[in-house]
Amino acid sequence: MTNVIKSNIPQESYWRLFLRFLRFGFLAWGGPVAQIAMIRQELVENEKWISKEKFNRVLAVYQVLPGPEAHELCVYFGMIAKGRIGGLLAGLGFMLPGFVLMFALSWVYVTYGINSPIFAAVFYGCKAAVVALIIRAIHRIGGHALTDYWLWGIAVAVGLASFLGINFLITLPLAGIAYSIIKRQSPSSALHAVLPLPLFAQSVGIITPSLLALFGYGLRSGLLTFGGAYTVISFLQYDAVVTGGWMTNAQFLDGLALSGILPAPLIIFATFVGYLGGGALGAIALTIGIFLPAFAFTLIGHEYVERLVENKAAHAFLDGVTAGVVGLIVVTAFGLFREAVFDIPTIIIFILALLAIYRWKAKAAVVGIMFGAGVLGWFLFGG
């Protein structure tokens, strides 16, 4: 049976539904795999809100679409339980713990900095571990996205274009069109199928971004995160560091390091980026922008996006875009690597973190690796 088993969905109030997903948010350690497994275990395996087959099909939709899959699943389950209001409450509940914690840490970072030798040493180690996490993400995303030589070529071409300074808002649509042609699909059909995605939005390089600009950066990034939350790193780094200039690569890595120790999707580091760009309101604006698509795809058009996944022309276009995103992440990771891994201790931490990422499969692996890197950084640099 693949339909929703309505009799097994608990008839609970909006408040209790919110609290259920708020609890999920407080337990959201270990990245998307652990978060999805937690949601599946309680709502599918234990309580049987929907069948396993239905869950797999819904998850497949969100894996193709941009945005954090675990968050989108929460919105979906909230909606089938209590309609669109339930979906909104479930999504807010899941993201709220991570947002509040990141907002607080951003305030501490901006107000007091990390001038303390202990904090500086901890971040010294954590930054190297963050780069290791990004390298692992590139391997994982690339393994799923680069399935033929054409896609490998697209990834290399987009990466080279980014290295030469060509805006990704030009190269990513071209990557999708190119692969649509290669697969003998109609580029115009592909573009029509994905028309809601503003791939051709203009990029504005400004030193002090307005709240509207921060919201726009977040919205655009949220709509382009094909392949997982790590793909958003390239887009926000480009806006905040390369063209905006309101952050340095070192500060950007600090935000990633903080997000790695929080119970939240990695994409929550956008709150940190927004805070440094526009203070408290900037953090809220960028966070709303980047999470808005994850809400909208389900609350407004889940049936539409299911049809989109079945559209072969759109599928080829999105495959090409995803391959291009892999190339962008490689270039971004190279710049972050040079910033974070620059001496013998950071090389050691990077290698140990990379080995641990590949061998440690526990739910708390990411948190444990970040904690261990911080301790090792303190021991080698500040101890």
Q: What is the pLDDT of residues 310-320, one digit of tens each?
A: 666 677 787 88
Q: Please give the pLDDT value at position 65.
A: 74
Q: Are residues 217 and 360 in the same domain?
A: yes
Q: Please give the pLDDT value at position 382.
A: 59
Residue written as token pair 């993201």: 95
Q: Is residue 354 part of a domain?
A: yes
* Tally of domains in the chain: 2
Q: Is residue 1 part of a domain?
A: no
Residue written as token pair 């990557």: 175
- Please tell me the pTM assigned to this model: 0.74
Q: Please give the pLDDT value at position 126.
A: 81
Q: Are residues 230 and 129 in the same domain?
A: yes
21: domain range? 6-93
Q: Is residue 39 part of a domain?
A: yes
Q: Please give the pLDDT value at position 70.
A: 85
Q: Please give the pLDDT value at position 313.
A: 65
Q: Are residues 186 and 157 in the same domain?
A: yes
Q: Are residues 205 and 282 in the same domain?
A: yes
257-271 pLDDT, tens digit each: 888 778 787 789 999
Q: Are residues 60 and 112 in the same domain?
A: no
Last residue of a domain, one of 93, 121, 148: 93
Q: Please give the pLDDT value at position 364.
A: 65
Q: Are residues 37 and 173 in the same domain?
A: no
Q: Please give the pLDDT value at position 205.
A: 45
Residues of the chain with pLDDT under 50: 1-6, 190-206
